[in-house]
A and B are shown apart, each in its own frame.
Chain A
Amino acid sequence: MSSPDGTEPLIEVKDMTKVYGEGPASVQALKGVSLTIRRGEFLAIMGPSGSGKSTFMHLLGCLDHPSSGSYRLAGQEVSGLTRDQLAMVRGRQIGFVFQSFNLLSRTSARENVELPMLYAGVAREARDARARSILEQVGLAERMDHKPNELSGGQQQRVAIARALANEAPLLMADEPTGNLDSASSVEIMTLFQHLNRENGITVVVVTHANEIAAWSGRIVTFRDGLIVDDRPAKEGSAA
């Protein structure tokens, strides 16, 4: 499934720009980016800090509005959607994984996983059953009722991944998912992403500055100064 050839595009971005602030003090974070990501791709976005990769990621994740350009997600133009419509897109189409996990503290793993389903209006029994099955899938069957502070970093990130999968979104976006993890946990998390990409056909976009993380992907897109400067397949077999 990692081969992009012949499959339909999930993401089509054309001439996307993002300007922060106004007038002479404004900063152009993205200067016209075009990118197509097909369903089933495993993509790494790389680049130094300030290159615009995080901004691009936030725009892809519908967390922010582009200043100009078009963005089609699963065939739907999302750049002109209202706040509520964007919330719906985030809830149903996109699963987020953050560097700092962003789990609700004092709330069990299972309830954290149920959160997106609450906003999507999934009934209680279905929520409960699905949260259990996803947590089993990410290897946390024994720790469902533990609170985040009772879990290791790697386990917390797996809860976050389970949460991202709750509404069966076709797109998983991860912002430095291993940035707060030791190398053993990093490998675990990347293996999980690879598994979800290969076995479940989920499109995965990972933002990272680390080459060894990018190497897990099938395609590496590099940003510099608000533009894509490099877009090529990752070297086969370089993954650990």
Chain B
Amino acid sequence: MSFMVLLRTAWKALLRNLSRSLLTMLGIIIGVGAVIASVAIGAGAQAVVLKQIESLGANLIVISPGSVTTGGVSLGSGARTTLTLEDVTSIVANVPEVAAAAPYSSTSAQVVAGGVNWFTVIGGTTPAWPIVGNWNMAQGTFFTQDDVTRVSKVAVLGSTVAANLFPAGGAVGTTIIVKSVPFRVLGVLTAKGQTGFGRDQDDVVIVPISTHQERLTGQTWVNTILVSASTADTVAGVIDSGERLLRLVHHLAPTAPDDFTIRNIANVQQVRIATSGAQALLLAAVAIVSLVVGGIGIMNIMLVSVTERTREIGLRMAVGARGRDILLQFLIEALTMASAGGVIGIGMGIGVSFLVSTFAGWPTVVSGFSIVLGFASAACTGVVFGFYPARRAAGLEPIDALRYE
């Protein structure tokens, strides 16, 4: 019996009990839909994280001050004031694989421009910062090393700040007031959007580190040192050399703990990828459970169908059908039902992904792989759970089947 004839027979049998077939497919539809949607949401989240890693700057290493322990009480990371501008210069001078390094200190303040004001973060750094952090200028220029040396009162605005203080544009060349100090705006940074942790990276005003220390905060240490390794392969080496160098520069005894923390930002983001992977795994587990339940539904209905059509099976055997013809007929019927469920499920999954990205604003990426995976798992479910009823049909004795009432 040709495959096309079998398919046509199976299709007719399914259409004969359309509502029953649809109800039977429901488990498969939900299962496959869940696979497609979960993979789409997971892939979307991953794509966002990868983009964020890129936007943070290539091969970024962050050095922050260590914790302080006084009288057995450990204060958190960053409580110390051990990092200095000299650390930055010595890292750049002594670690060859470093592409650039920039200090970064921040404080919060109200910024006033004309009649408008905005509360934001004021960052102090050097011209190396846009290189390390992969920032570009939307308008104007970044300040120079000269501005750092001369403690110039100049600033570069993040796009969020620029948009709020100068909704009509034209920020470059104007003057803003921060803590009673006037700053001339040199430029506006291109927007980067939120970090992986939901902080708006563009809600910032950047000034020279010297001006930041002397005019705004009065602190002599720096909050963070951002280091960019020349290639991805040298990141580990830079962390290692950087740690040894800082211990030396900070005159730490061999037994003393580090008074700073040095870590790779990509690692932190990879943790997030792993987390979204775990979420995807959970959804996949839900999908598998749903497929199994759907498969049991198919098995149940196929058993009913075999019983209902016992006389038909007997007749087919009487006119020459072998056991494997009957097996194949019912197997293909189960397969057709499961595959049809799979196709509907794929449609639903794509629909759900679309709705999620439209209404919830989560990015989703429907991959060809998940569609193939969804269809294949539906078809497998059909074959696996259709086999037992099909084998039961094929094992009937022709005369018992014919005489079945």
- Measured in the bound complex, the distance between the Cα atoms of B314 and A64 in whole Å is 12
Question: Pick the contact of B1 from A61, A102, A119 — CB < 8 Å?
Answer: A119
**Inter-chain contacts of A104 with B (CB < 8 A):** 312, 315
Q: Give the secondary structure class of B's interface.
A: helix
Q: Give A82-103 as 1s and 0s: 1 = Cβ < 8 Å from B's Cβ atoms.
A: 0110011011100010100010
Q: Are B319 and A64 in contact (CB under 8 A)?
A: no
Q: How far is the CB of B21 from chain A (nearest CB, A)?
A: 15
Q: Are A119 and B316 in contact (CB under 8 A)?
A: yes
Q: Are B312 and A91 in contact (CB under 8 A)?
A: no
Q: Are A84 and B315 in contact (CB under 8 A)?
A: no
Q: Which of A119, A163, A166 has the most CB of B within 10 A?
A: A119
- Count A-B contacts at CB 8 Å: 64
Q: Is A167 an interface residue (CB 8 A)?
A: yes
Q: Are A116 and B320 in contact (CB under 8 A)?
A: yes
Q: Are B323 and A91 in contact (CB under 8 A)?
A: no
Question: Pick the contact of A96 from B1, B319, B324, B397 — CB < 8 Å?
Answer: B319
Q: Is B258 an interface residue (CB 8 A)?
A: no
**Inter-chain contacts of B312 with A (CB < 8 A):** 104
Q: How far is the CB of A37 from chain B (nearest CB, A)?
A: 19
- Measured in the bound complex, the distance between the Cα atoms of B311 and A2 in whole Å is 34
| Partner-B contacts on A (CB < 8 A) | 58, 61, 63-64, 83-84, 87-88, 90-92, 96, 98, 102, 104, 106, 115-116, 118-121, 124, 163, 166-167
Interface residues of B in 292-322 (CB under 8 A from A): 311-312, 314-322
Q: Are B322 and A92 in contact (CB under 8 A)?
A: no
- Measured in the bound complex, the distance between the Cα atoms of B323 and A116 in whole Å is 14
Q: Are A64 and B1 in contact (CB under 8 A)?
A: no
Q: How far is the CB of B244 from chain A (nearest CB, A)?
A: 79
Q: Are A118 and B323 in contact (CB under 8 A)?
A: no
**Inter-chain contacts of B320 with A (CB < 8 A):** 87-88, 90-92, 116, 119-120, 167
Q: Is B199 an interface residue (CB 8 A)?
A: no
Q: Are B317 and A87 in contact (CB under 8 A)?
A: yes
- Chain A to chain B contacts (Cβ below 8 Å), 12 pairs: A63-B317, A63-B318, A64-B398, A84-B323, A90-B318, A90-B319, A91-B321, A106-B12, A106-B16, A116-B320, A118-B1, A120-B320
- Measured in the bound complex, the distance between the Cα atoms of B12 and A91 in whole Å is 24
Q: Are A64 and B318 in contact (CB under 8 A)?
A: no
- Measured in the bound complex, the distance between the Cα atoms of B399 and A139 in whole Å is 30
| Partner-A contacts on B (CB < 8 A) | 1-2, 5, 12, 16, 311-312, 314-325, 397-399, 402
Q: How far is the CB of A174 from chain B (nearest CB, A)?
A: 13
- Measured in the bound complex, the distance between the Cα atoms of B316 and A88 in whole Å is 12
**Inter-chain contacts of A58 with B (CB < 8 A):** 399
Q: Are A88 and B398 in contact (CB under 8 A)?
A: no
With A102-B311, A104-B312 already in contact, the answer to whether A115 and B319 are too (CB < 8 A) is yes
Which 6 residue pairs spanning A and B have beta carbons closest together?
Answer: A91-B320, A119-B320, A116-B319, A63-B399, A87-B322, A64-B399
- Measured in the bound complex, the distance between the Cα atoms of B319 and A163 in whole Å is 9
Q: Are A90 and B316 in contact (CB under 8 A)?
A: no
